[in-house]
Every structure is written in structure tokens, then in C-alpha cells.
Structure 1
Amino acid sequence: MEDRTEYQGKMETQLQEWGAKIDELQARAEKTGGDVKDDLNQRIDGLKAKRDDMQKRLSDLKSASDGAWSSLKSGFQNAWDEFSSSVEEAKSKFD
């Protein structure tokens, strides 16, 4: 079982990687045109909002007491899984 610091570090790294993917998607969307570009930009804006929410949740998780950490981790993991699916879904739209 991974410890708290290891888990948080892993989540920070993954969040940075997804941020880079979102930036890449944004750059690719700029090369498209018309309705496709509008749709992609809406998806990307949604991903950015979710990323910002995940950054806040991770910050809250990092500052939580040991007693609250376990319960916060569960909620964080659920939101994390949803965000991960959203990133992968958006990425698949470009492939």
C-alpha cells in the first residue's frame, strides 16, 4: 500500500501530464475549423475547469489532517477517475 506522500506525488505528476495533454489538444484544436473547432474548444474548456477543480482538491487533500485524509482521498479518487475518463475521451476525439 502506498503512503500518503507517494500517493500525492503520483497525483501531482499525473495532473501535470494531463495539463500538458490538454495544452496539446488546445494546439491541435486551433488547427481545425468551423463547428469542429467550437466543439473541441468547449470540451477543452470543460477539461480545464475539471483540471482546476482537481488541483484544488489535491491541495485540500495535501493539507488535510491524518484523520480526514482517508475520507478525502476516497472522494478525491472518484473525482480523479471521472477527470481521467474525460481527458481520455477528449483525446480520442482527436485520434
Structure 2
Amino acid sequence: MSDKELYIQKIQSEINEWKAQIELFRAKASSATADAKISINNNIKAFEEKVEEGKAKLEELSKSTESTFDSMKKTFETKWEIIKTAIKDTTKKLNA
């Protein structure tokens, strides 16, 4: 398996973990009060948007050729860190 394929698998695993977290947060929302549900659902929506953004960036990276992968990976990693930070912030809000 190439470095590109391994890297993409690693990132896809992170996305899958985030999807699982979303389901846990939905379960939390179902047992919350009405006011809390609104807040939780808004945060879940923000979380989902970042996950979708991450999936789109990963799709762009996966379409790269072996020769352009390294340069695209650097750009991807910068954007990926921004997405991860936003997801961590949202996770903190949802766990509060």
C-alpha cells in the first residue's frame, strides 16, 4: 500500500470517529430539555458541517496523483488542522 493510500485511510478513520461522536451527541440531545436540545442540535449541525468540509478536502487529496500528492498534502494538512480545531471546540461545547 502506498504512503498516499495509508495517509488517506488514516484521515478517513478520523472522519469515521467524528461520525460516531455525532451519533453519541444526538443520543445526548434526545434526553435533554427543550432549551438544551436547541443548543445541542445547533452544535451538532456545526460539527456535521466541519465533518463534511473534511470529507470534501480528503476527496480532493485522494484525487491527487502520486507526483502531486506531497505538495497537496501540505496544503491539506493546514486546512485539516483548522477543521480539527473547530471540531475539538464544538466537542467541548457538546460535552459541557
The normalised TM-score by structure 1 is 0.81
5+ residue gaps, structure 1:
none
CA distance in 2, matches of 1:71, 1:39: 39
Task: Name the stretch that deviates more: 31-40 or 20-29.
Answer: 31-40
Q: Match for residue 19 of structure 1? A: 19
| Cα distance, 1:39 vs structure 2 | 1.4
Q: Match for residue 68 of structure 1? A: 68
Task: Name the stretch that deviates more: 14-23 or 75-84.
Answer: 75-84
| Cα distance, 1:91 vs structure 2 | 2.6
CA RMSD of aligned residues (A): 2.0
Report whether the alignment pairs 1:42 with 2:42. yes
Q: Match for residue 10 of structure 2? A: 10
The normalised TM-score by structure 2 is 0.80
CA distance in 2, matches of 1:72, 1:56: 14
| Cα distance, 1:8 vs structure 2 | 0.8
CA distance in 1, matches of 2:35, 2:72: 39
5+ residue gaps, structure 2:
none
Q: Match for residue 84 of structure 2? A: 84
| Cα distance, 1:27 vs structure 2 | 1.4
CA distance in 2, matches of 1:28, 1:64: 39
Count the aligned residue pairs: 94
Alignment deviations for residues 34-78 of structure 1 (CA, whole Å, 9 cap, x no partner): 322211111110111111121121111111123432332223222
| Cα distance, 1:10 vs structure 2 | 0.5
CA distance in 2, matches of 1:6, 1:55: 16
